[in-house]
């Protein structure tokens, strides 16, 4: 799919959770990629200098502002970006930050969800076309202990057995995803190394490192095919507004 070049700004929170396959999509579509590390004190861009804002994940919670003061700065920037009609995508913590910026509650999920589990699309999720390339029952990657309530006015997109809200779409241009369609083998390995303490918790939705590592390259290829289709659809939705 050929599109006019866009300026995509990625907000990254820790060294081991980068844009992953989202960066591959940006480059494949001929867009410009900028990565900003707020945790390192890097400055935010001017809104006039970006077209898309992508907010990545991280092990911190949205309420840990004393330890991570940039969380509040980021939420304020998200609010301004939404007000400026930018396209936004949030992944995991990023989705929680967007939900919080929209006034929704973020809290502990009843179950910690770490590993490969399928999504169940809502009627709105199916109608959106965002998941058209995601096979039914296909296992996507998860790593979270918190969750978000559905922001007022947002459409629920998906759920999983462990988490009632796996995604939402707000005003056709703001997307929150609790799961990680951007996951790569290298990115998953970095999470296993850097967040190993979270795997000590037992539960029905916490898989072993061996199980998590067992997905073959073909599975990641299908995952990224679904991601590329979702991002292409977000471009289309933005043009329809």
Q: pLDDT class for 110, splitting at 50, 70, 90? A: very high
**C-alpha closest to that of 166 among 131, 193, 200, 201:** 131
Q: What is the pLDDT of residue 4?
A: 83
Q: What pLDDT is stored for residue 202 in this prediction?
A: 82
Tens of pLDDT along 134-145? Answer: 999 999 999 999
Question: Which tokens belong to 50?
Answer: 């970006």
Cα–Cα distance, 229 to 138 (Å, whole number): 15
CB 53 within 8 A of CB 74: no
Model confidence pLDDT, tens digit, residues 171-199: 999 999 999 999 999 999 999 999 999 99
| Per-residue pLDDT, 2 | 46
Q: How far apart are CA 216 and CA 221, in angstroms?
A: 9
Measuring CA to CA, which residue among 144, 161, 140 is closest to residue 225? 140
Do 133 and 230 meet the contact criterion of CB atoms below 8 Å apart? yes
β 7-12/32-37 pair status: parallel
Q: Where are the alpha helices (DSSP H) in the chain?
A: 21-28, 70-83, 93-101, 123-128, 185-194, 209-213, 217-240
Average pLDDT over residues 209-234: 98
Question: What are 161-173's pLDDT values in tens digits?
Answer: 999 999 999 999 9
d(CA 17, CA 35): 12
Confidence of residue 3 (pLDDT cuts 50, 70, 90): low
DSSP reduced 3-state for 194: helix
- The rounded distance, in Å, linking the Cα atoms of 201 and 85 is 41
pLDDT tens profile 68-88: 999 999 999 999 999 999 999
Q: What percent of the chain has pLDDT over 90?
A: 95
Instruction: State the pLDDT at residue 90.
Output: 99
Distance (Å, whole) CA 184 – CA 186: 5
> What is the average pLDDT across 15-30?
98
Q: What is the CATH number of domain 7-240?
A: 3.40.50.880
Can you give 150-174 as a three-state secondary structure string?
Answer: CCCCCEEEEECCCCCCCEEEECCCE
Cα distance between residue 199 and residue 114, in whole Å? 8
Domain residues of the chain, as ranges? 7-240
- What confidence tier does 105 reach under pLDDT thresholds 50, 70, 90? very high
Name the nearest CA neighbour of 88 among 62, 131, 54. Answer: 54
Mean pLDDT of 46-60: 98
Residue 201's pLDDT is 81
Angle at 237 between CA 231 and CA 240, to 5 degrees: 150
């Amino acid at each position: 799919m050929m599109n006019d070049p866009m300026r995509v700004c990625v907000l990254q929170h820790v060294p081991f959770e980068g844009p992953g396959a989202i960066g591959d999509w940006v480059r494949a579509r001929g867009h410009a990629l900028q990565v900003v590390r707020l945790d390192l004190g890097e400055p935010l861009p001017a809104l006039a200098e970006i077209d898309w804002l992508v907010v990545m994940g991280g092990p911190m919670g949205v309420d840990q502002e004393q330890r991570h003061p940039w969380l509040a700065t980021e939420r304020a920037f998200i609010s301004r970006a939404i007000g400026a009609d930018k396209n936004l995508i949030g992944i995991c913590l990023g989705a929680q930050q967007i939900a919080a910026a929209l006034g929704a509650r973020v809290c502990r999920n009843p179950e910690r969800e770490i590993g490969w589990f399928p999504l169940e699309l809502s009627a709105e999720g199916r109608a959106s076309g965002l998941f058209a390339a995601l096979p039914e029952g296909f296992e996507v990657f998860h790593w979270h202990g918190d969750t978000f309530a559905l922001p007022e006015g947002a459409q629920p997109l998906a759920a999983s057995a462990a988490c009632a809200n796996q995604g939402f779409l707000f005003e056709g241009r703001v997307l929150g995803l609790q799961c990680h369609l951007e996951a790569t083998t290298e990115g998953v390995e970095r999470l296993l190394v850097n967040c190993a303490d979270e795997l000590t918790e037992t539960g029905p939705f916490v898989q072993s490192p061996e199980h998590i590592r067992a997905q073959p390259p073909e599975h990641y290829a299908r995952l990224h095919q679904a991601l590329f289709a979702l991002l292409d659809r977000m471009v289309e939705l933005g043009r329809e507004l």
